[in-house]
Structure 1
Amino acid sequence: MTAPSPLLNRHGAVAASGPDEGVAAHYGSPVPEQRALEAGRAVVDLSHYAVVTVSGPDRLSWLTTLSSQQVAGLKPGESSELLLLDISGRIEQAPAITDDGETAWLITEASHGAALAEWLDSMKFTLRVEIADRTAEYAVLGSAAPLPESVESPAAWTDPWPQLAPGAESYSAVAEEEHPGADWAWHLTVVPRRQVEEAIASLEAAGTSLAGMWAYEALRIAAWRPRLAQDVDAKAIPHELDLIRTAVHLSKGCYKGQETIARVHNLGHPPRRLVFLHLDGSEHTLPAPGAEVLAPKDPGDRDSLAKERSVGVVTSAARHHEAGPIALALVKRKVDTEAQLVVRHRPPQEEGSEEPPEPAFYAAGQELIVRPDAGQAVGRPQGDFLRGRPR
């Protein structure tokens, strides 16, 4: 892990926690920061992100053989994203990728950089590729608008979400023009770590302000954009998160995990689905990732919490400047799409306390992201194709 960002020394800066430890959650004005970021007038310090480079003439064809994405023809300056899966098709890595003509730049979560570099190095064999973890040299800045050329940068990535990539398919419940992410724009700019403060100072002089991770998270969740460190657990497959649209080429050659990708897509349905939640705004808190999502056992009787069952977990939550408290959650595929859900958050027990704190409950209206019938059933029983038995 890199040292905490020097921008945490700014007046009003409040440190983020969890996967964003080391940078600011906000700088004292979360709502104005969010509005400025959405308008393209703010920049987010992402210097905790990891940067890995792959150089050498075989780099793009090699990354194509290892990953879910076709990047062999990636041109200098173009952006994409790819997934590295385990043998069962579960997501292990999800780096952003851009190429400068000589080097592929991979940007990923702080907790995944070292493992990504190590695994890639173990897979190079006799190919003409060189892998380096450059996190100690380079930091990352995030913004809704491209940063000016005056900011020194060896690489910049533009998020493809939610446009369908070649060889992709949408698992979304809405038409493309109605997708909440249709207006989503996100850019990652790699800058020399020693020049982060200088780059921020030059941006501020030109009228760009600083925004914290809370601002980014709220806009990301509102756009239904999954994030590796938040929305991907040990069981997640790309179909459940609608990542087939931007990170998977369905007709490319063999790679680890491809059998599951093809089987679920062509013969069945993913066992879970990502859902957007509108949370009750009467609480002054937000549920933490991992909070249980409950649904009524009997859709006709929703009066008693005792009659509700756990059907999933919250993966991300934030307070949006217009929509209020919102969240993403992974729920079982067969959850009634019309059901009023409830989120149950169990606060951690305070040190020295004998009794666990009372759980907090949030009414949650669901909005479909991944539709329950996503995938293609072709004459086989609908079942859990990861386990090989009907559900």
Structure 2
Amino acid sequence: MKPVTVGSIDPSSADAGAVAHYGDPSREQKLLDTEAGLVDRGHRDVLAVPGEDRLTWLHSLTTQHLTGLPPMTGSELLVLSPHGHVEHHAVLLDDGATTWLDLEPGAGAGLLTFLERMRFMMRVEPADVTEARAVLSIVGPHTDEALGALNAGPLAPPDVVPVPPAKFATGAVPSRPTARYAAAALPGFDGLVRRVEGGADLLVPRAAVPDVIAAAGLPLAGIWAYEAMRVAARRPRFGFETDHKTLPAEVGWTAHAVHLEKGCYRGQETVSRVHHLGRPPRKLVLLHLDGVTTDELPAPHTEVVRDGRAVGFVGTAVRHYELGQIALAVLRQNVRADDGGQLQVGPSTAAIDPL
């Protein structure tokens, strides 16, 4: 069947430039869940930051600990507002000469503008390279075998530092990125590979995408299947599970994208205060939607209501091949799975997954 694009279904979607599915979304989900498939995520924005000062510079501007980052290592970072609200999220890979940042479609221009304003006398040359570089993702438990077929693996799984308790002792967090993703060159394609949770990301020249897909020899899956796996794994996405007042701790980014003991950066005071209080105002949860009153999925940022009052919003809602209609939602901290209140998302009744 001819690929169906997201744009042909919902032109306003952030994923409008991606393939929604290749004919059977449920089969594609099962493939990513039990074997391995390849997802073209070439609609993501990509920035390149070469220059001798790139790591110390990004270390000073973002939430992540990046000084001394070894070549061929990936991680995640956030840029916060002065009040600690998330303004940008990026996944990074440093190859020893350039730090590559990939982020949500359309988000690159805003982050590049911020970086250019903060250059001062630093030896860095940030640039938008979205037209030249594309992201492909291998997803599934057989990822290492797939990397082996590309002569780029296996790679060590993600190494994530446990989040310390509130009011932790000085020195409890090692001086390294809180999440380290092993990376390698992609031989023959002038590309890079980054091992991440649930799979691996390939950063390749856009002109080489057809050749990389052919060399990988994997069945293709659409972005709908990718998003279903992400939601089931409770991984937040910037612009979907976030709004203008999102704090990193509310959606779980403290574990992967925030170093709680590094030097000063914009928004650090709020991050520290929220962590040491031990109770962010909101939390990320997985909702099960009844799917009885309507088959339509709620749009991003649809209100979640309890007893006639809004208590949060839905981020991403999907049809999971095993779990049915599910959604990630950001709710007030005091909304619990066992408090007896009934949640509504549009016409659908919702229940918080107890796990």
Instruction: Please tell me the TM-score bracket, short chain as reference.
Output: 0.7 to 0.9
**Partner residue, 2:59:** 64
Contact kept, 8 Å, 1:40 with 1:143, in 2: the verdict is no
Q: Highest Rg: 1 or 2?
A: 1
CA deviations on 1:53-111 (whole Å, 9 max, x unpaired) are 11111111111111111011221221110110000100011100111111111111112
Task: Say if 1:152 and 1:131 are closer, same or farther in 2 by CA, change over 3 A.
Answer: farther
**Partner residue, 1:187:** 200
Which of 227, 231, 240 in structure 1 is aligned with 2:241?
231
AA in 1 matched with 2:47 = V
For 2:70 and 2:35, how far apart are their aligned partners in 1? 26
List aligned pairs for 1:1-391, cutoff 5 A.
11-16=2-7, 17=10, 18-144=13-139, 145=143, 148=147, 160=158, 164-165=160-161, 168-169=163-164, 184-203=197-216, 206=217, 208-267=218-277, 269-282=279-292, 283-296=294-307, 308-338=308-338, 339-345=340-346, 361-367=347-353
For 2:3 and 2:101, how far apart are their aligned partners in 1? 32
For 2:32 and 2:278, how far apart are their aligned partners in 1? 40
Task: Say if 1:277 and 1:169 are closer, same or farther in 2 by CA, change over 3 A.
Answer: farther
Contact kept, 8 Å, 2:40 with 2:137, in 1: the verdict is yes
- Could you tell me the percent identity over the aligned residues? 41
CA deviations on 1:334-365 (whole Å, 9 max, x unpaired) are 224413543333xxxxxxxxxxxxxxx11111
For 1:368 and 1:60, how far apart are their aligned partners in 2? 40
Contact kept, 8 Å, 1:230 with 1:315, in 2: the verdict is yes
Contact kept, 8 Å, 1:76 with 1:100, in 2: the verdict is yes
Normalised TM-score (structure 2):
0.82
Say which SS state the counterpart of residue 261 (structure 2) adopts.
Answer: coil
**Partner residue, 2:180:** none
AA in 2 matched with 1:165 = V
Moved over 4 A (4+): 149-153, 157-160
Normalised TM-score (structure 1):
0.75
For 1:169 and 1:134, how far apart are their aligned partners in 2? 37
**Partner residue, 2:186:** none
Contact kept, 8 Å, 1:340 with 1:366, in 2: the verdict is no
**Partner residue, 1:304:** none
Task: Say if 1:238 and 1:190 are closer, same or farther in 2 by CA, change over 3 A.
Answer: same
Contact kept, 8 Å, 1:292 with 1:312, in 2: the verdict is yes
CA deviations on 1:304-334 (whole Å, 9 max, x unpaired) are xxxx322111111111111111101111112
5+ residue gaps in structure 1? 1-9, 172-182, 297-307, 346-360, 370-391
For 1:135 and 1:152, how far apart are their aligned partners in 2? 25
Task: Say if 1:327 and 1:170 are closer, same or farther in 2 by CA, change over 3 A.
Answer: farther
Task: Say if 1:152 and 1:46 are closer, same or farther in 2 by CA, change over 3 A.
Answer: farther
For 1:150 and 1:128, how far apart are their aligned partners in 2? 38
Q: Give the RMSD, CA atoms, in angstroms.
A: 2.5
Say which SS state the counterpart of residue 291 (structure 2) adopts.
Answer: coil
Q: CA deviation at 1:37?
A: 1.7
Say which SS state the counterpart of residue 250 (structure 2) adopts.
Answer: helix
Say which SS state the counterpart of residue 21 (structure 1) adopts.
Answer: coil
For 1:62 and 1:188, how far apart are their aligned partners in 2? 25
5+ residue gaps in structure 2? 167-195
For 1:249 and 1:234, how far apart are their aligned partners in 2? 21
For 1:337 and 1:321, how far apart are their aligned partners in 2? 23
Task: Say if 1:96 and 1:368 are closer, same or farther in 2 by CA, change over 3 A.
Answer: farther
Q: CA deviation at 1:40?
A: 4.0
Say which SS state the counterpart of residue 113 (structure 2) adopts.
Answer: helix
Q: CA deviation at 1:52?
A: 0.6
Contact kept, 8 Å, 1:169 with 1:245, in 2: the verdict is no
AA in 1 matched with 2:220 = L
Contact kept, 8 Å, 1:68 with 1:248, in 2: the verdict is yes
